[in-house]
Structure 1
Amino acid sequence: MPSASNTPSRESLADPDLSMDSPEFEISCMERTRFEGTHVMIFIGFGFLMTFLKKYCYSALGLNLLLASLVIQWAILCQNIFEMESGVIVITKHSLLEADIMSATVLITFGALLGFASSTQLLFLAVIETVIGCTNLWLVTHVLRAADVGGSIAIHAFGAYFGLGVSFAYRDKKSTTEAATESISTAMPSLNGPKYTSDVTAMIGTIFLWIYWPSFNSGLTESDAEYTRAVVNTYLSLAAATVTSFVISSLVSHAKFDMVHVQNSTLAGGVAVGSICNLHIGAGGALAVGIGAGILSVLGYHYLTPKIAKHCGVLDTCGVNNLHGMPGIYSGILSIIFAMLAREDTYGKELGTIFPAMVGDHPRSANVQGLYQFAALVITIVLAFVGGAIAGYLSKIPKAFKKLNDDEKYNDEVDWELPADV
């Protein structure tokens, strides 16, 4: 997700007298739209999506606000370590957008750990994950020079598998089968589920994410043509994933719709198309990507998540593996295929902005670029899971961080003053 080459100068962005007829003004307006749309996703979309738990809504919204606010500040520093000039960090809307996007990584991890990681553990994990995530992003975009404009590899897949790595570290010391059976039978996990009103508020998050996802995927595109393709392809993929999710949900849920699938799988098309949304995939290709994402996500929620919890003891409260992890891998695989198909007669001068390593003094071939896309995907998953597991074990150090007891999990009473009628 490299910085946009046609971004107006910092001076022009700060100039109150910038002419409305100038190209810089048009770019500035376009950046403002992208920034605000992504900003809404982070603070409203992610926040409300995680309010589905019956007694954890305060934490879902409040900790989402706290974590995002912390990570935005920390990410500005971490991301600019690789790019600052003369030791000076200049903050623009573009750098804020990049920090917002990085905060999505941490919030995805938050979704995996929702309810069973304490607030102090989450804050520690957010600081560590931001450092590792920014390093991985730099490796993907600047070292490997992989195409990932929507962040399906470096943001979605990374956040999901970092969270699962932490969850792996948090497994019960008992045998996984015994722990899973106990987690179903004890009174505590009865809070690990929705009620009617909490599912309704979670749908607010889904709708906001659905509406603004094209802004997220197109946020770091570098030309009007790329921006248009990213918006159109994301929109079509989301629409296809939504229809598919309803159909598959009714098939696996005895002719009824499952709200878990509606809240989450309908968004999987936005993740799945992220790495390729600015490429020439065509309307039919975007629809096909969305259909595949909807099928993958619903089946993951229905079959895979329960098996991982039962046989591996790895909890995933929001099912981020099904919304962000597997669709992120799916998008990474598609980026390999479309990189190998990329030709100059198709992309023209855009080839150098989308695949910068394929032009210049020592250009890569399309097949070699595909191998670098594969390397970016593998490195991201390994670094995320291993980094998450290590960070998870560190966050369990006795007396350093508060650990939730079984009767404190999925319960707002631990951190919040609650109304008397709750």
Structure 2
Amino acid sequence: MIFMGFAFLYTFLKRYGYSGTSFNFLLGAIAVQWAILARGLIFAIIPHGVFGPFPLDISSLVVADFNAATVLISFGAVIGKCSPLQLIVMLLLELVFANVNEYLGIELLQVADIGGSMFIHAFGAYFGMAVSRVLFRESQTKSDKLANSYTNDLFSLAGTVFLWCFWPSFNGVLATDQGRMFAIINTYFSLAACVVVTVAISSLVDKHGKLEMVYIQNATLAGGVVVGTTANMPIQPWLAMLLGSLAGLISTIGYRYLSPSLEKKLKLHDPAGVNNLHGMPGILGGLGGVLVAFITSFSLVVLDIFPAMAPVDNSTLLQEIHSNFTGVVAGMGRTGAEQGGYQLAALVLTLVLAIVGGIVTGFVMRLPVLDPPEPDMMYNDADYWHMPDEEDELIKPSVEIDVPNSETRMRLVKNEEA
């Protein structure tokens, strides 16, 4: 998903295919290394006040991959507008903010977000949009290189399908056995419903009833985003399908109407539409987690999802549980309503830290030493890559020949001029 799905998804710009895929490759490779160090510092070393080794296992590598996803979501908001140095600086700062946010949410607030609707998708989207706003220049929105092409759209759709197929494993990989089953089922149904609704809305909002490829490339994935928080929860398939349908609806409408309005009124230029694919569905997914927590009553089943709802230490209820079951750890004795309030607080905190962190990072990225691209070189591979000489490949050198008639002569002259 990280090194193929996002890479091909970001080939949608007609002159930025080399950079879209390869900068994705570079950022992903740096992110999985930096994330392990940043998380070790924030989750293990600083809280305990002891500098030394921290655990490293398969789960650590998976979470580092999740961190890479956060950065690559933000990359979509600034794609084509930043130099590689600027992107690396964004990565280094973003993963510090992102892991501080996750530490506050998981360790202090003790909320659930197994598939990252809040901590990955919403954070990455609004961090990237905040950076994009700080870096905004009017010329960014007027380049003819922002257009797509038939070939680029096909490559981008390949990335979409790759992400779509693997999304159930993304949402379920960190869950326990039963939670993993729920995550796969819920994500599966949410994604399927999202595709159907996206295609339908895409046709409805077009005056000729035609489909728009950008909606199919992006909004069809919103079903995986929206069910991230509730993926491992025992919600019914109909609720997963409802969430996926709502995500497809708001994402498609966002691409059609909201993105142009935000660009015009607030100068929020978002080339990949991360607000529509990750931002708004991420918020909806976080609110879904609030609702599920609010209506949940205490049971042994939910302790794996909301550990803070377990009885407090030395309570009578905990002692009764221990007399029949082992392995139940004392919690904070929260009610469903209290847990829902903490889920909401984590969502608000995520949005605040993402926006503030993005603004700070954006101002750092404006430093001239980071080699920001000139306006005429934005969305253009030629500024960073050796490009194949397409003209030499398509046009053969002219030679002196004896042409039989004026019609043939005119055709050769036109070909040479072309």
Of 356, 371, 390, the match for 1:386? 356
Q: CA deviation at 1:310?
A: 1.1
Q: How big is each residue's C-alpha offset from its partner over 1:307-334, in whole Å with a ceiling of 9 and x where there is no partner? A: 1111111110100000000000000111
The aligned residue for residue 300 of structure 2 is: 349
The aligned residue for residue 146 of structure 1 is: 111
SS at match of 1:316: coil
Instruction: Output the CA distance in 2 between the equivalents of 1:105 and 1:154.
Output: 8
Supply the AA of the counterpart residue of 1:65. Answer: F
Q: CA deviation at 1:91?
A: 2.5
The aligned residue for residue 83 of structure 1 is: 44
1:132-143 matches, within 5 Å, as 132-143=97-108
Q: How big is each residue's C-alpha offset from its partner over 1:310-360, in whole Å with a ceiling of 9 and x where there is no partner? A: 11111101000000000000001111111001123xxx3232221011113
Of 83, 104, 109, the match for 2:69? 104
The aligned residue for residue 204 of structure 2 is: 251
SS at match of 2:3: helix
Contact 2:140–2:378 (Cα < 8 Å) also in 1: no
The aligned residue for residue 366 of structure 1 is: 336
Q: How big is each residue's C-alpha offset from its partner over 1:284-329, in whole Å with a ceiling of 9 and x where there is no partner? A: 1111111100100000000000111111111101000000000000
Q: CA deviation at 1:183?
A: 5.6
Of 377, 381, 399, the match for 2:347? 377
The aligned residue for residue 270 of structure 1 is: 224
Of 166, 179, 186, the match for 1:233? 186
Q: How big is each residue's C-alpha offset from its partner over 1:85-114, in whole Å with a ceiling of 9 and x where there is no partner? A: 872134222110010011100000001111
Instruction: Output the CA distance in 2 between the equivalents of 1:421 and 1:219.
Output: 45
Supply the AA of the counterpart residue of 2:133. Answer: F
Supply the AA of the counterpart residue of 2:284. Answer: Y
Q: Does 1:417 align with 2:370?
A: no
Instruction: Output the CA distance in 2 between the equivalents of 1:183 and 1:227.
Output: 43
Identity, in percent, stands at 43
SS at match of 1:145: coil
Supply the AA of the counterpart residue of 1:350. Answer: V
SS at match of 2:390: coil
SS at match of 2:292: helix
Instruction: Output the CA distance in 1 between the equivalents of 2:37 and 2:84.
Output: 23
Q: Does 1:280 align with 2:240?
A: no
The aligned residue for residue 367 of structure 2 is: 397
Of 47, 54, 57, the match for 2:14? 54
Instruction: Output the CA distance in 2 between the equivalents of 1:285 and 1:83.
Output: 37
1:26-37 matches, within 5 Å, as none
SS at match of 2:234: coil
The aligned residue for residue 317 of structure 2 is: none
Q: How big is each residue's C-alpha offset from its partner over 1:208-261, in whole Å with a ceiling of 9 and x where there is no partner? A: 00000001101111x211100000000100000000000000001231110000
TM-score, normalising length: structure 1: 0.85
Contact 2:81–2:140 (Cα < 8 Å) also in 1: no
Instruction: Output the CA distance in 2 between the equivalents of 1:421 and 1:206.
Output: 28
Q: Structure 1 residues 358-367 or 228-237, which shifts more?
A: 358-367
Contact 2:140–2:375 (Cα < 8 Å) also in 1: no
Supply the AA of the counterpart residue of 1:388. Answer: G
SS at match of 1:310: helix
Q: CA deviation at 1:171?
A: 2.1
Q: Which runs of 5+ in 1 are unaligned?
A: 1-40, 173-178
Q: How big is each residue's C-alpha offset from its partner over 1:378-402, in whole Å with a ceiling of 9 and x where there is no partner? A: 010010011101100111023x211
SS at match of 1:43: coil
Q: CA deviation at 1:63?
A: 0.4
Cα RMSD over matched residues?
Answer: 1.3
SS at match of 1:274: coil
Instruction: Output the CA distance in 1 between the equivalents of 2:168 and 2:140.
Output: 38
SS at match of 1:51: coil
Instruction: Output the CA distance in 1 between the equivalents of 2:215 and 2:78.
Output: 19
1:109-120 matches, within 5 Å, as 109-120=74-85
Q: Which runs of 5+ in 2 are unaligned?
A: 313-331, 392-418
SS at match of 1:232: helix
Of 152, 155, 159, the match for 1:198? 152
Q: CA deviation at 1:204?
A: 0.8
Which consecutive segments of 4 or more residues in structure 1 shift more than 2 A?
83-86
Instruction: Output the CA distance in 2 between the equivalents of 1:417 and 1:142.
Output: 47
Instruction: Output the CA distance in 2 between the equivalents of 1:343 and 1:421.
Output: 65
Instruction: Output the CA distance in 2 between the equivalents of 1:60 and 1:374.
Output: 35
TM-score, normalising length: structure 2: 0.86
